[in-house]
C-alpha cells in the first residue's frame, strides 16, 4: 500500500512539473514582450519596467524558470495588475463557488447515474432498460448551456411571471451566510451539471454490471442461494464502480478547474467565470494561476481515484 501511494505521488509530482515547464514556455518564452503581456494592455512604461525587474526577465531562462517554480511551490501565483490584487486572493474569493457547484453536482449525478444504471442492468431489454438508454443518449447529446437556458426559462422566468420565486436566476450566497439561500442559488446549476454528466455514469454502470452478471462466479453465488440483492450490490455493482470512479476522478478534477459554461450561464462568480474574464482582459497572471490550479486538481482527483481502487479491488495492492 505504501509503495502504491509513493508511486502515485511521484507520478503526480512529475506531471505537475511537466505542466509547469509547458506553462512557463508558453507564457514566458513565446511572447515577444513578456513584461507588457503580464502588466496588461493599459500598463504604463514604468509599470512594465517594474514588472520586468520584479520577475527578473533580464536573467537567463533557467534562472527565470527557477524563480517561477519556487514561487509556485510557495503558493505565490503572481499579481494581477489589471485587478490590482494577488492572484491567490482572486482565486480564493472564487474557489468556494466552484467547489460548491462541483461537489453538489457530483452527488446528484452519481445518485442519478448509478441508480438508473443499476435498474437498466437488472432489467435488460425491458422498458426500464430502454428508458435508461434513452435518458443517457438524450442528455449526453444536450450541451450544458442549452439545458441551462431551458432550466432558466421554465424554472426561473416562467415561475417568476406567476409570482413563484423559488429558484433565483443568478448569483451566489455563501453556505455559512445562509444554507437555504446557498442551496436555492445552486439547485439549477446542480441539475444542469448533473443531468448532462449522469448519462455517462448510467452507461458505465449498466455496461459494467452486465459484464459482471454474466461471469461464472455470479452464477455460482446464485446457485449457492445468495440473495439477488447481495449479488447485485455486493458483487456486480462493486465491480462496475471501478469504471465509475475512474470517470468521477476525471470529471471532478476538470470541473474544479473551472466549470466555465455552467458558471457563465447561471451567473456564478466561480473560477470558470474568472477564467473567461481573465482571457477577455488578457490578465496573464490569473490565467497562469488558474491553469496550474486546474492541473493540480486533476492530479489530486486521480490520486484519490487510485486510493479508491484499493478499496474496490484489493488486487491493486499487489501492483
Return the number of other C-beta atoms located less than 10 Å from residue 243's C-beta: 17
**What is the model's pLDDT at position 27?**
84
The residue out of 76, 99, 120 marking a domain boundary is: 76
This prediction's pTM: 0.86
Q: How confident is the model at residue 70 (pLDDT cuts 50, 70, 90)?
A: very high
Q: How confident is the model at residue 174 (pLDDT cuts 50, 70, 90)?
A: very high
52-66: average pLDDT: 83
Q: What is the mean pLDDT of residues 167-194?
A: 92
CA distance 8 to 303: 6
Name which residue leads in pLDDT, 215 or 304.
Answer: 304
Residue predicted with more confidence, 251 or 235: 251
Find the range with the poorest average confidence among 30-39, 52-61, 71-80, 93-102. 30-39
What gap in Å lies between CA 310 and CA 170, rounded to an integer? 41
More confident residue, 218 or 24: 24
Q: Is residue 252 part of a domain?
A: yes
Per-residue pLDDT, 281: 86
- Max mean pLDDT range (46-55, 183-192, 281-290): 183-192
Average pLDDT, rounded, for the chain: 87
Using alpha carbons only, give the angle 244, 250, 252 rounded to the nearest 5 degrees.
95
For residues 148 and 245, state if they share a domain: yes
Per-residue pLDDT tens over the stretch 93-128: 999 999 999 999 999 999 999 999 999 988 888 999
pLDDT, position 302: 87
Q: Residue 286 has what pLDDT?
A: 92
Could you give the percent of the chain with pLDDT greater than 90? 43
> 231 is written with which cell numbers?
449479488
Residue 145 lies in a domain: yes
Question: Which conformational region is residue 270 in: left (phi greater than 0), alpha (psi within -120 to 50 degrees), or beta?
Answer: beta
Give the pLDDT mean for 129-150: 89
- The rounded distance, in Å, linking the Cα atoms of 270 and 93 is 8
* C-alpha–C-alpha distance, residues 264 and 136, integer Å: 25
Q: Is residue 262 part of a domain?
A: yes
* Domain of residue 235, residue span: 91-313
The Cα angle at residue 223 between residues 217 and 225, in degrees rounded to 5:
110
Q: Which of 76, 102, 123 is the last residue of a domain?
A: 76
Handedness of CA 35, 41, 46, 50 (dihedral sign): negative
Note whether residue 148 is domain-resident.
yes
d(CA 40, CA 80): 9
pLDDT of residue 267: 92
Q: What is the pLDDT of residue 316?
A: 56
pLDDT at 33 over 60: yes
C-alpha closest to that of 201 among 141, 136, 105, 130: 136
pLDDT at 319: 53
Both 173 and 37 in one domain: the answer is: no
Same domain, 205 and 67: no
**What residue has cell string 496550474?**
292
Higher pLDDT, 303 or 36: 303
User: Hey, which bits of 189-251 come out as E strands?
Assistant: none
Beta bridge partners of 85: 80
Which range is most confident: 23-27, 81-85, 94-98, 247-251? 94-98
What does the CA dihedral 226, 228, 234, 239 come to, rounded to 10 degrees? Answer: 110
Any domain includes 84: no
81 found inside a domain: no
pLDDT at position 317, please? 56
- pLDDT at residue 52 is higher than 60: yes
pLDDT of residue 221 exceeding 90, the answer is no
Amino acid at each position: 500500500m505504501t509503495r502504491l501511494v509513493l508511486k502515485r505521488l511521484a507520478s503526480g509530482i512529475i506531471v505537475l512539473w511537466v505542466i509547469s515547464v509547458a506553462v512557463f514556455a508558453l507564457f514566458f518564452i513565446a511572447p515577444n514582450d513578456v513584461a507588457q503581456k503580464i502588466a496588461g494592455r493599459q500598463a504604463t512604461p514604468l509599470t512594465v519596467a517594474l514588472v520586468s525587474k520584479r520577475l527578473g526577465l533580464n536573467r537567463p531562462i533557467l534562472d527565470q524558470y527557477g524563480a517561477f517554480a519556487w514561487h509556485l511551490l510557495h503558493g505565490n501565483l503572481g499579481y494581477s495588475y489589471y485587478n490590482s490584487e494577488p492572484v491567490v486572493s482572486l482565486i480564493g474569493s472564487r474557489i468556494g463557488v466552484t467547489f460548491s457547484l462541483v461537489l453538489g453536482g457530483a452527488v446528484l449525478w452519481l445518485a442519478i447515474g448509478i441508480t438508473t444504471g443499476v435498474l437498466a442492468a437488472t432489467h435488460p431489454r425491458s422498458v426500464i432498460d430502454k428508458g435508461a438508454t434513452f435518458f443517457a443518449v438524450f442528455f449526453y447529446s444536450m450541451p450544458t448551456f442549452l439545458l441551462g437556458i431551458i432550466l432558466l426559462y421554465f424554472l426561473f422566468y416562467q415561475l417568476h411571471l406567476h409570482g413563484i420565486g423559488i429558484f433565483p436566476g443568478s448569483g451566489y450566497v455563501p453556505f455559512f451566510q445562509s444554507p437555504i439561500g446557498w442551496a436555492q442559488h445552486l439547485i439549477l446549476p446542480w441539475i444542469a451539471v448533473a443531468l448532462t454528466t449522469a448519462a455517462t455514469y448510467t452507461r458505465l454502470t449498466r455496461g459494467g454490471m452486465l459484464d459482471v452478471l454474466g461471469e461464472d462466479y455470479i452464477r455460482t453465488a446464485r446457485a449457492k442461494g445468495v440473495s439477488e440483492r447481495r449479488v447485485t450490490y455486493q458483487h456486480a455493482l462493486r465491480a462496475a464502480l471501478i469504471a465509475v470512479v475512474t470517470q468521477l476522478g476525471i470529471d471532478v478534477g476538470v470541473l474544479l478547474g473551472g466549470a466555465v459554461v455552467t458558471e457563465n450561464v447561471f451567473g456564478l462568480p466561480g473560477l470558470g467565470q474568472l477564467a473567461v474574464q481573465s482571457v477577455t482582459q488578457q490578465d496573464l497572471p490569473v490565467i497562469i494561476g488558474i491553469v496550474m490550479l486546474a492541473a493540480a486538481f486533476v492530479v489530486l482527483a486521480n490520486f484519490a481515484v487510485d486510493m479508491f481502487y484499493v478499496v474496490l479491488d484489493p488486487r491493486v495492492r499487489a501492483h
